[in-house]
């Protein structure tokens, strides 16, 4: 860091005083807490963490020294700030795929267009580039995702030459249902993490944390009991790859 950008000793001292004041406020909030999830305690905690982090950075920049405090990284999503009783919901879904067998993908798309010529690129509501379904991966993807529901593609992805990556589903609260066509031009611009009711994540990174018969609910591992009903067993198949993080006003 250059001398011109280096904080002054007065700034470091002021940051230290801010930490002391934040400590007092946090202790006062804890002593007066109204319950286990008191929002005043939560806010005081965040203020203290921010003040300590600022002081730590200034101390290091000025004196090349550090504090013995570890500032916890923010995990998960921000605190819920949506309506307590939502009257409308939005589902935001992301699923990543790798095209691992292009020829299989092209073959499946050709089969669809042979059976239903209207599904070919450029026809009806199929918004893909012009050209035959078997001419390019771009066109083939348009055909297949136009023909099949996303859930069916997720179930049959190997048939289409795809390999699954990470996926997530966000359930977000809304004050009221949007007007028809209101958000179609920018469907993801209004994704507000503070209105997240719950989310469901699937990733291989969870393999190292969860056993084959475990599932994580709200950050707590819960054993999933075997069920004789094959249909119900399918619901928890490959649970080692699933993480369910349930959020709400008290989180």
pLDDT tens for each residue of 154-207? 999 999 999 999 999 888 898 889 899 999 998 888 788 888 888 888 888 776
In this structure, are 174 and 203 located in the same domain?
Answer: yes
The domain tally of the chain equals 3
Asked if residue 63 lies in contact with residue 70, where contact means CB atoms within 8 angstroms, the answer is no
Q: Which pLDDT does position 144 carry in this prediction?
A: 92
Provide CB contacts within 8 A for 202, sequence distance 6+.
Answer: 164, 166, 167, 168, 241, 242, 243
Residue 199: the pLDDT is 83
pLDDT for residue 225 is more than 50:
no
Domain-located, residue 108: yes
- Residues pairing with 222 in the sheet: 215
Domain-embedded: residue 140? yes
Asked if 91 and 207 sit in the same domain, the reply is yes
Residues in Cβ contact with 224 at an 8 Å cutoff, skipping those fewer than 6 apart = 213, 214, 215, 236, 239
- The answer to whether residues 90 and 179 belong to one domain is yes
Q: Beta partners for 243?
A: 201, 216
Q: pLDDT digits over 81-114, tens only?
A: 888 888 999 989 999 999 999 999 999 999 998 8
The CA distance from 20 to 66, in Å, is 17
Helix (H) or strand (E) holding 237: none
What is the strand order of the sheet 162-174 is part of? 88-99, 162-174, 196-202, 242-246, 214-217, 220-223
Print the domain residue range for 118. 101-160
Q: Which residues pair with 174 in a beta bridge?
A: 88
Domain assignment present for residue 70? The answer is no
| pLDDT for position 205 | 79
**Final residue of a domain: which of 160, 182, 210?**
160
Residue 230 CB neighbours (<10 A): 7
Do 80 and 164 contact (CB within 8 A), yes or no?
A: no
Does residue 75 lie within any of the structural domains? no
Confidence check: pLDDT of 245 > 60 = no
Q: Which residues of 165-180 are buried (b: 16+ CB within 10 A; e: fewer)?
A: eebbebbbbbeeeeee
Lowest mean pLDDT among 20-24, 68-72, 129-133: 129-133
Determine the Cα–Cα distance for residues 115 and 102; give it in Å rounded to an integer.
Answer: 20
Looking at residues 107-135, what average pLDDT do you find?
Answer: 65
Query: Are both 16 and 39 inside the same structural domain?
Result: yes
Instruction: Answer whether residue 2 is part of any domain.
Output: no
Does residue 241 sit in the same domain as residue 169? yes
d(CA 90, CA 78): 18
Q: What is the residue-averaged pLDDT of the chain?
A: 77
What share of the chain in percent tops pLDDT 90?
31
Residue 226 neighbours by CB distance under 10 Å = 8
Cβ-Cβ contacts under 8 Å for 233 (sequence gap 6 or more): 226, 227
Residue 28 domain-assigned (yes or no): yes
More confident residue, 133 or 38: 38
- Residue 99 forms beta bridges with which residues? 162
* Structure tokens belonging to residue 50: 């921010």
First to last CA, the chain: 39
- Cβ atoms within 10 Å of 195's Cβ, excluding its own: 23
Average of per-residue pLDDT across 70-87: 72
């Amino acid at each position: 860091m250059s001398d011109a950008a280096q904080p002054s000793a007065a700034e470091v001292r002021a940051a230290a005083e801010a930490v002391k004041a934040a400590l007092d406020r946090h202790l006062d909030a804890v002593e007066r807490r109204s319950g286990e999830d008191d929002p005043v305690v939560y806010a005081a905690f965040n203020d203290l963490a921010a003040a300590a982090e600022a002081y730590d950075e200034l101390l290091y920049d000025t004196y090349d020294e550090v504090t013995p405090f570890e500032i916890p990284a923010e995990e998960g999503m921000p605190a819920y700030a949506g309506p307590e009783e939502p009257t409308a919901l939005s589902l935001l879904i992301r699923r990543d795929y790798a095209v691992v067998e292009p020829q299989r993908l092209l073959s499946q798309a050709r089969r669809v267009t042979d059976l239903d010529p209207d599904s070919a690129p450029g026809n009806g509501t199929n918004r893909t580039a012009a050209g035959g379904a078997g001419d390019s991966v771009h066109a083939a993807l348009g055909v297949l995702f136009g023909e099949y529901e996303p859930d069916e593609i997720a179930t049959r992805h190997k048939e289409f030459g795809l390999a699954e990556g990470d996926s997530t589903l966000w359930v977000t609260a809304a004050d009221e249902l949007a007007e028809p066509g209101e958000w179609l031009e920018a469907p993801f611009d209004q994704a507000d993490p503070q209105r997240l009711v719950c989310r469901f994540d699937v990733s291989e990174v969870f393999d190292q944390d969860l056993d084959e018969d475990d599932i994580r609910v709200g950050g707590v591992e819960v054993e999933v009991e075997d069920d004789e009903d094959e249909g119900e067993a399918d619901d928890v198949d490959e649970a080692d790859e699933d993480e369910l993080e349930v959020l709400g006003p008290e989180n």
